[in-house]
Amino acid sequence: MTDSNSDLTSAPIFDLSNQVAIVTGTSRGLGQYLARALAKAGADLVLTSRDNSTLKPFEEEIKAMGRRVVSLSLDVRNHESIQRMAAEAEAAFGQVHILVNNAGCNIRKPALDVTWGDWNTILDTNLRGSFFVAQAIGRGMVAKGYGRIINIGSVTSVAGYPGLAPYGASRGGIRQLTMSLAADWGRHGVTVNCLAPGWFRTEQNKVLYDDPGWVEYLVERIPANRPGQPHDLDGAVVFLASEASRYVTGQTLLVDGGISTGTTRATVASKAGNKGAREQGNKKTPQSSEHNW
């Protein structure tokens, strides 16, 4: 750990050397990018998946970076599996400093088509699973007086989208859970924050990104004028995992290119019928957009 008087602009404040991070759901997708970012910052890793044999190639990649790494089986919908993973992680490394609660799922359906089973699958994985993993790992953090917990949310933690009712409920719940755990554990040196990506291409939503019309529609609504790239999350996850964020807890950090601002056109496009008037040399100052919210 760094001294409390360290210069917040210095590189060591983001250094994760000699720290151990668990990242759940690292068999593919954003979980691997998050884990890789922490390893590049110096952290040793615990990787998890329901089938840990699938993690072997990624484990070798992390080892090649000079980091210690173990791969453990974890089904976040099974309480015994969670308890076993926590015990095995502590047996392997002694102390866990960082937890990234990334494991999640989605079933994309109109609200009227969502089944009882669909709802339970999503909420049990994304919300219940995140709580009980945080509880299992947080127990050791509280006992040792230090920890960084990063719950992965989504732009749906703060905004509603059609076809994502159970998913949005689970991610909104993650935001509230983050605040509650931060209030519970802050006095014990444990910070709890939510990292909420915007629209990033993943296995869960690739069908949308295969539609050029939808991508154009999306980009129009993102002030940064592009969808997210996985490396856009690197700085945010390292910040929340490091001493740089020591006075940040209970917060939701949106990495979404600004789409959560609710960007909406507030001007009317010129009509072809106005072309003649424009060509007559009328050089009046253009009207300001009206704010009809």
Q: CA torsion 36→42→43→45, rounded to 10°? A: 50
* Single-letter residue type at 73: S
Catalytic choice (33, 167, 209, 247): 167
Distance separating alpha carbons of residues 47 and 99, to the nearest angstrom: 11
Check if the beta carbon of residue 289 is closer than 8 Å to that of residue 265. no
Check if the beta carbon of residue 206 is closer than 8 Å to that of residue 119. no
CB atoms near residue 248 (< 10 Å): 14
* Plot region of 48 (φ>0 → left; ψ -120 to 50 → alpha; else → beta): beta
Sequence-distant (6+) residues with CB within 8 A of 198 are 154, 155, 222, 227, 228, 254, 255, 256, 257, 259, 260
Check if the beta carbon of residue 134 is closer than 8 Å to that of residue 192. yes
Distance separating alpha carbons of residues 108 and 94, to the nearest angstrom: 40
Does the annotation count 167 as an active-site position? yes
* Plot region of 163 (φ>0 → left; ψ -120 to 50 → alpha; else → beta): left
Distance separating alpha carbons of residues 128 and 105, to the nearest angstrom: 12
* Single-letter residue type at 59: E
Check if the beta carbon of residue 193 is closer than 8 Å to that of residue 149. yes
Measured on CA atoms in the order 214, 217, 221, 222, is the torsion positive or negative? positive
Q: Which residues are catalytic?
A: 167
